[in-house]
Copies of this chain bind each other. A is one copy, B any other.
């Protein structure tokens, strides 16, 4: 390592639809970006070829005062972080048992780190975003599912076998919906699709609401974003839906707070964009569900890096240690 040069890394955010990449400096700023669609790729080799091609392109115009320090990847599934080994990707076929860090390392001859995408985002938020001030924080991402990352004593805690932080499976009802991950996991209530289903069920049952009208009468056009807009405009059903989502999250967060007593929860992901429609009832329900010893000092913050959390966090993995 050249002491006079600033480090930068390639961050790779491996999503279900797109793979996003960026050249990220050690101060968290993005120098250049690239992306490609996931669906056209031919298996793991095709993915590696594309990542290699784009990485060298992103590094082609590297400023003279910077040096390439590594490649970090966030993937949507189970990873052994210590080995950089992908066990399984939930929604991407052909990615079972892939020694990804090793295979990338052969192409780049750089430090390579591979982690779960939510862990990468959590590292990004805690290094450069809303979590910077904390040594003990819990990162939550709200989307199709609910993901989590745990900051403990200022580093990401991965548990005994690299899979800790699966906050979406924390149960809020022992007799709740059955899934392969148990019963009543909070993501069974507040995942994107569940929010929409619950809303449509209420409308089908005869509730008056502006939601369907806002969707141009198309059920398939109803999204959490649209329900949020309706709530902001005063739609009662939409507000009730967000109140319920907030209370489900508050139940899980109270359990997590009693267990870990973090300084802060950092909440990101699509649904978190709802803002006050979500955060106001969330705070209210959490205060009701927590003893004041636990509630008073607890901070709830919205994540700050938005769509860049994935690439920035993945790059940040290589700056650690």
Contacts and interface: CB of A to CB of B under 8 A. Distances in A.
Interface of A: 78, 87, 135-136, 148, 150, 152-153, 157-167, 169-175, 180-185, 247-248, 251, 254-256, 258-263, 288-291, 293-294, 297
Nearest to A136: B160
A182 B256 contact: no
B289 A164 contact: no
B261 A181 contact: no
A119 to B, nearest CB: 12
24 contacts: A135-B160, A136-B160, A148-B259, A152-B152, A157-B260, A159-B262, A160-B262, A160-B263, A161-B297, A163-B293, A164-B259, A164-B261, A166-B259, A166-B261, A167-B258, A169-B255, A171-B251, A171-B255, A173-B174, A174-B248, A182-B254, A182-B258, A184-B251, A256-B259
Contacts of A152: 152, 157
Top 5 A-B pairs, shortest CB-CB distance:
A159-B261, A182-B289, A174-B251, A166-B258, A169-B258
Contacts of A87: 293
Contacts of A293: 78, 87, 161, 163
Contact of A259 (B78, B150, B160, B184): B150
Given A167-B258, A182-B251, A182-B289, 9 more contacts: A157-B260, A159-B261, A163-B261, A166-B259, A167-B259, A173-B174, A174-B247, A183-B289, A256-B259
Contacts of A150: 259-260
B170 A172 contact: no
Contact of A170 (B135, B160, B184, B259): B259
Contacts of A159: 136, 260-262
A78 B180 CA distance: 37
Contacts of A184: 251
Nearest to A164: B261
A251 B172 CA distance: 9
Contacts of A164: 259-261
A320 to B, nearest CB: 15
A171 B254 contact: yes
A153 B159 CA distance: 9
